[in-house]
Every structure is written in C-alpha cells, then in structure tokens.
A and B are shown apart, each in its own frame.
Chain A
C-alpha cells in the first residue's frame, strides 16, 4: 500500500474516532484541558505507528488500538503527576435532561452519585465502564483495548456493575453523603 492510501486511511480513522478518544480522555482526566492534550498525543502516537498497527490488525477494527493508546497515555499522565487528578470523573458535570424541574433535580443528583461512585471503583473496572457506556464498545473491543481475554473482560464488567450497584445501594440505604 502506498503512503497516500495509508494517510487516507489514517484520516478516516481520525475523523471517525476523534470523539471517542476525546470522550475517553475526558472521563479519565475530568477536564477539557488535559483531555485535549491526551487526545492530541494519542493521535500523534497513532500516526507514528499506524502502518504497523494496521498490518497487524489483520482487518479487525482499529478503534480498540486507538483507545488503548489513549488509555496508556492517561495512565502515564497520572504516573507523571504521581497523584490522582485534582479534577476527576467525579467533577464531571452531569448532562442536562428535558424533564420537569423536580425530576431534573432528582435525576441530576442520581447522576452525580453514580459519577462519585464510579470514582470508588478500581481503575480497570471504571475504565471498562467508560468504554462500554461512553464509547458503546463491545466486550470484544474492550478486551482488545485493555489487553485482556474476552472472558476476563466479561467478568471485569460484571464485577464493575455489581460493585457499583452495591455502592449505590449502600449510599441509598445510609442516606448520608
């Protein structure tokens, strides 16, 4: 394949998944500034390794590979800062909903709670849920992005949901915050 064709394919990948990479980065770091940095770095790194990755993908979708790059960069981002982010997923403002005022307040509180409880999960569980719900990735895609088997990923997501459910129930039962 010549370089022009390879570049065209990268261009398609970039256009198709800019939002995915940005969304994933945003939910990992919790602010637009760092999410933009991570997205930019992810695409630069992807471009450098695109030819090889495409060859090795054997026709499979490239999105998991791209998200894996963003995932590794986000992990490095925390490691470099030697701390958790000051503004993380918990600080992400829930989206607005077209309901009545009372339901909006109630709904937004519920969303805030789920965001706060996501932060309690171990990193791999939380990351798998971001991939599943923010990016609508299949178990197989998530497995490739996290470098795990399909079976292990299914278990990971099941445990993540179960733990989150328990955390939410505990919060609801205790009535405190």
Chain B
C-alpha cells in the first residue's frame, strides 16, 4: 500500500472513530438552570444588602462614591439575566420573588437618591 493510500485509510478510520457526539437533551436545560441560579444569587445578594441598610447608610448613598456596591450587584444580575434569554428560555417563568424584591429595591433606592 502506498503512503498516500495508507494516510487516506487512516484519515477515514479517524473520521469513523471520532464522530461528533450529540449532547444529551438535558444539557441545554442544565445550562439554563445554572444561569438562572446566578441571576437569583445576584438578586438575593442585592436584596439582603438593601435589607441591611440603616437610615444612615441610606443617607450615605446620596454620595455617588458609595454607589459601587449596588451598581456591581445590579451589573451581575443584569449579565446573568441576559444570559437567560440567550439560551432560549424554554421554561419561561414569572419573575421570582427575589427578582421582584430586587427590582423594587432598585426603584426605592433610585427614589431615595433623587430626594
């Protein structure tokens, strides 16, 4: 057998041996669930942080230098929330209580900052 023919056989064999593998159906749902979990963790972090605020801390938020923490939490939530839509969001759900809380808190903080 010539070297070229041998190489062709080997390549054909490799093509057979290394066929693409179909991912299990559960994998897409799993990725989606992971992204959901990240979103909820971010919302929970934002919620618990806001719950901990005292009046004086709310007062301190009038200073833009103190906005890093809430902005970071909102950013994390935003990134993960976007990722949810990305994977097709096959299992659409109503916003969780945590998310509603987070949105409400963001609104309240904005009002507080404007005052």
Number of A-B residue pairs, CB cutoff 8 Å, is 98
Residue pair A130, B13 in contact (C-beta under 8 Å): no
Which residue of B10, B15, B20, B87 contacts A11 across the interface (Cβ within 8 Å)? B87
Contacts of A129 in B (CB 8 A): 14, 18
Q: A3-B82, A23-B20 are in contact. Are A18 and B28 (CB under 8 A)?
A: yes
Q: A3-B82, A36-B30 are in contact. Are A115 and B17 (CB under 8 A)?
A: yes
Within 8 A of A (CB), among B49-93: 79, 82-83, 85-88
Residue pair A40, B20 in contact (C-beta under 8 Å): no
Contacts of B35 in A (CB 8 A): 44, 47
Please count how many residues in chain B sit with their CB below 8 Å of the partner chain's CB atoms: 30
Query: Which bucket holds chain A's interface residue count?
Result: 35 or more
Within 8 A of B (CB), among A123-177: 129-130, 132-135, 161, 164-165, 168
Contacts of A14 in B (CB 8 A): 86-87
Residue pair B34, A133 in contact (C-beta under 8 Å): no
Please measure, in the bound complex, the distance between the C-alpha atom of A111 and the C-alpha atom of B24, giving whole angstroms.
Answer: 23
Residue pair A95, B14 in contact (C-beta under 8 Å): no
> Is B23 part of the contact surface with A, judged by Cβ < 8 Å?
yes
> Is B11 part of the contact surface with A, judged by Cβ < 8 Å?
yes
For residue A20, which residue of chain B has the nearest CB?
Answer: B20
Residue pair B22, A19 in contact (C-beta under 8 Å): yes
For residue B23, which residue of chain A has the nearest CB?
Answer: A22
Residue pair A10, B17 in contact (C-beta under 8 Å): no
Nearest CB on B from A75, distance (A): 19
Which residue of B6, B22, B30 contacts A165 across the interface (Cβ within 8 Å)? B6
Subset of 30 A-B contacts with CB under 8 Å: A3-B82, A4-B85, A7-B82, A7-B85, A10-B83, A11-B85, A14-B86, A18-B28, A19-B21, A22-B27, A23-B20, A27-B18, A40-B27, A40-B30, A40-B31, A44-B35, A44-B38, A47-B83, A95-B17, A95-B19, A118-B17, A129-B18, A133-B14, A133-B17, A134-B18, A134-B20, A164-B14, A165-B6, A165-B7, A165-B10
**A positions within 8 Å CB-CB of B:** 3-4, 6-7, 10-11, 14-15, 18-20, 22-23, 26-27, 32, 35-36, 39-40, 43-44, 47-48, 94-95, 97, 107, 110-111, 114-115, 118, 129-130, 132-135, 161, 164-165, 168
